[in-house]
Amino acid sequence: MVRLAHDVLDSQLVDRKGRPCGKADGIVLLVGEHGAPRVVALEVGALTLARRLHPRLSRWLARWGRRLGAAAPHAYRIPWSQVRRIDEKEITVDIDAAATPLWSLERWLAERVIDRLPGGA
Amino acid sequence: MALLRVVMIAVLLAAAGCGGSGDATDVRALASWAATTDMVAAAWTQHEVPRRYSLRAVGRARQALTERGRHLDALPAAARARVGEALQRLDRAVAELAEAIERGDRTGAVPIRARLQAEARTLGEVAAGLEARS
Amino acid sequence: MTKVFEVALGIVTSIGGFLEAGSLATSAQAGAEFGFQLLWVIALGTLCLIFLVEMSGRLAAVSHHTIASAMRERFGFNFFVVPLLTVALVSLLTLGAELGGVCMALQLATGVALQWWALPVMVLVWVLLWRGSFGLIEKGVSLLGLVTVAFLVAMFRLHAPLGEVAAGLVPRLPDHDSGRYWFLAVSILGASLTPYLFYFYSSGAIEDHWDKKDLGTNRMVATLGMSFGGILAAAVLVVAAMVFLPRGVRIESYEQVALMLIDAFGHWGFWLFVAAFGIACLGAVLEITLAVAYLVAQGFGWNWGENVKPRDAARFAATYTLALVVAMLPVVAGVDPLRLTNVSMVLSAASLPVATLPFLVLMNDPTYVKGHANGRFGNAVVLVVIVLACVLAVVSLPLELVGG
């Protein structure tokens, strides 16, 4: 048995290479034809967090964030089928974080800023 | 809202409280800076602190004396007169100390110390008198 | 043998890490104005800190969570955002005070105005963080920080009246200037209990891969290290009481504090003070900068760690860089470092309930600490001290700002 709010929401996520790749900021449920909700995905990103604080904050962040291009805030969904393991410390998901938008800000900072400074790599 | 009200009341109480006791505190601070310059003078004449530090410390003391010296209007007349005179003598002594340090004249700085100590004592006495009254 | 060495090193680390601008300035002010009367506040703050630091290490060793990540997981993001912002803001302010302290030490040494030191100091700190490892920073700075033992030596060289000193450990009401007395009391509590200290400690425990085997070490390091740190702060107070009180000098600027070791050490005194003050503040700067970056990275689940190359923890590295720049702004703007220190210490006291109460809940939650939950005594001490600190802060901060 998995208790969604207790064991999943706000837990640390790590990808298949063991890299921390955000927290389970949101959980996406789908209500089927017969009214039984089913977990379909985990949602990760600043837009999800902002929506939890206030929906208007999320819309505002999305509008202004677009200017950032590649590093814009997002709400990325990891399908529930990719969840491999849930334990006390973290949730392991079968993705390569660096290939997803989860890594966009990290990649942007690494390539645009850190590589241009001495001793960063 | 309740917290805000508590803070507001605390601020008002504080503002009211400061008007009463601030005067003695200001005179205490003047005495403290007089004593500080004497400490700096002592350390400098005995080669215990570098010249540039001494200049800065004395400069800081002068600045503090000027700032604090502006808030004496609320003092009782007798005390205000006594503090005003002490402050004038103190200003002269501190200025001379600064010049002596600038020149590197340690022997010239030694006699200034007695004057600094005298003003620190005078100011301390006035502050004690004001504190005893309040 | 390695265990003994590990414990010894841990203790040395916490001594070097304890004394910084905040406790140095507040202890010196307290001694100069009230003699030994406020010593009990240092004792109380140190006792509470021992408990908080021990808890922080225990949480990390048992649950493999830092305080920040456990807090977010347990209470959810919408709650976590409050302690996150509070601790981050208070820490940035404290960081500003410590950076001001490093620049002030350089001004004392060279006579060159402290604003000119802001940029070089920032670059030095940044390079240390950028290139250095956690161990290098923790151990290197702490070993240098042992120069702060000079305050303890000074206390004995001045033949402090130990009977009167001991009497200062008994709590009492002030005999004059009660507003000022309580303001200094809360500043001392804020300086002993700055939240970054125990938030940082749990991150360090994770960086050093602690587990249940380390619980004994943790208890020893927390108790002995923080006690020695507290003794150093007490020594500063005692020396200030013996040097400044008889002369009627009240501490309003660091230029005055700089004279404090001359009676004990002669011409060495000034330079010992400058070295101790500068190094202690530099150590605190490194710790707080990292603490802010840890807090943010752990709160959002980024990869973090001082042992990781900046490129592999880009957001983490960017956060500490930004924290340094933001915290330096008040120093560059010419805010008096001592004033900044005083205000940030009171604010850190005021923020304690937000920073520690959720932490206390975690430490009593078997989901996280299993069979290693807090005892009643630990809970009670922390609860009483932080409530006291917060109430005093809320009452006395307006007093100080209005300029009483």
Asked whether residue C399 carries a pLDDT value surpassing 80, the answer given is no
Residues of chain B neighbouring C399 (CB-CB closer than 8 A): 10, 14, 17-18
pLDDT (0 to 100) of residue B116: 97
Asked whether residue C139 carries a pLDDT value surpassing 90, the answer given is no
ipTM for the complex? Answer: 0.93
Asked whether residue A15 carries a pLDDT value surpassing 70, the answer given is yes
Burial of A66 (0-12, 13-18, 19+ CB in 10 A): exposed
Q: Which residue of C has its CA nearest to A22?
A: C301
Asked whether residue B134 carries a pLDDT value surpassing 80, the answer given is no
Asked whether residue C15 carries a pLDDT value surpassing 70, the answer given is no
Query: Tens digits of per-residue pLDDT, B74-111?
Result: 889 899 999 999 999 999 999 999 999 999 999 999 99
CATH number of the domain to which A47 belongs: 2.30.30.240
The 3-state secondary structure of chain C, one letter per residue: CHHHHHHHHHHHHHHHHHCCHHHHHHHHHHHHHHCCCCHHHHHHHHHHHHHHHHHHHHHHHHHCCCHHHHHHHHHCHHHHHHHHHHHHHHHHHHHHHHHHHHHHHHHHHHCCCHHHHHHHHHHHHHHHHHHCCHHHHHHHHHHHHHHHHHHHHHHHHCCCCHHHHHHCCCCCCCCCCHHHHHHHHHHHHHHHCCHHHHHHHHHHHHHCCCCHHHHHHHHHHHHHHHHHHHHHHHHHHHHHHHHCCCCCCCCCCHHHHCCCCHHHHCHHHHHHHHHHHHHHHHHHHHHHHHHHHHHHHHHHCCCCCCCCCHHHHHHHHHHHHHHHHHHHHHHHCCCCHHHHHHHHHHHHHHCHHHHHHHHHHHCCCHHHHCCCCCCHHHHHHHHHHHHHHHHHHHHHHHHHHHCC
CATH number of the domain to which C374 belongs: 1.10.4160.10
**Per the CB < 8 Å rule, is A23 touching C367?**
no
Tokens representing B73 are 């209007």
Q: Does C325 touch chain A (CB under 8 A)?
A: no
What whole-number distance in Å separates Cα of residue C242 and Cα of residue C304?
Answer: 46
Mean pLDDT of chain C: 91
Q: What is the mean pLDDT of residues C169-177?
A: 88
Return the partners of chain C (3 or more C-beta pairs < 8 Å).
Answer: A, B
Task: Give the distance from residue A99's alpha carbon to the nearest chain C alpha carbon, in angstroms.
Answer: 15
pLDDT (0 to 100) of residue C404: 44
Q: Is residue A42 part of a domain?
A: yes
pLDDT band (50, 70, 90) for residue B1: very low
Tokens representing B10 are 């605390």
Of A11, A20, A119, the CB nearest to C131: A119
Q: What is the mean pLDDT of residues C261-280?
A: 95
Kindly state the DSSP code that residue B19 receives in the 8-state scheme: H
pLDDT (0 to 100) of residue C75: 96
Residues of chain B neighbouring C248 (CB-CB closer than 8 A): 28, 31-32, 35, 120, 124
pLDDT (0 to 100) of residue C401: 65
- Indicate the SS3 state at residue A36: coil
pLDDT (0 to 100) of residue A4: 87
Q: Does B14 touch chain C (CB under 8 A)?
A: yes
Q: Is residue A55 part of a domain?
A: yes
Best CA proximity match to A103, nearest among A24, A40, A44: A44
Q: Is residue A28 part of a domain?
A: yes
Which residues span the domain enclosing C119? 2-402
C86-100, C159-173, C389-403: the lowest-pLDDT one: C389-403
pLDDT band (50, 70, 90) for residue C387: very high
Rg (CA), chain C: 20
pLDDT (0 to 100) of residue B71: 82
**Per the CB < 8 Å rule, is C404 touching B48?**
no
Asked whether residue B14 carries a pLDDT value surpassing 50, the answer given is no
Q: How many CB pairs under 8 A join B and C?
A: 98
Query: Tens digits of per-residue pLDDT, C82-93?
Result: 999 999 999 999
Of C109, C255, C402, the CB nearest to B60: C255
* % of chain C with per-residue pLDDT over 70: 94
The neighbour count for residue C140, using CB atoms within 10 Å, is 16
Q: Is residue A104 part of a domain?
A: yes
Strand partners for A23:
A12
Q: What is the mean pLDDT of residues C353-380?
A: 95
Interface test with A, best of C62, C300, C362, C370 (most A CBs within 10 A): C300
Q: Is residue A121 part of a domain?
A: no
Let me know how long chain A is: 121
A32-41, C16-25, C360-369: the lowest-pLDDT one: C16-25
Please count the structural domains in chain A.
1
> Of residues C8 and C202, which shows the higher confidence score?
C202
Q: Which residue of B has its CA nearest to C336?
A: B60
Q: Does A55 touch chain C (CB under 8 A)?
A: no
pLDDT (0 to 100) of residue B19: 41
Which residues span the domain enclosing A78? 4-116
Task: Give the distance from residue C257's alpha carbon to the nearest chain B alpha carbon, in angstroms.
Answer: 10
Query: Tens digits of per-residue pLDDT, B40-70?
Result: 999 999 999 999 999 999 999 999 999 988 8
Tokens representing B23 are 């005067």
pLDDT (0 to 100) of residue B4: 47
Tokens representing C150 are 């000079």
Residues of chain C neighbouring A9 (CB-CB closer than 8 A): 76
| Chains B, A in contact, 3 or more Cβ pairs below 8 Å | no
Please count the structural domains in chain C.
1
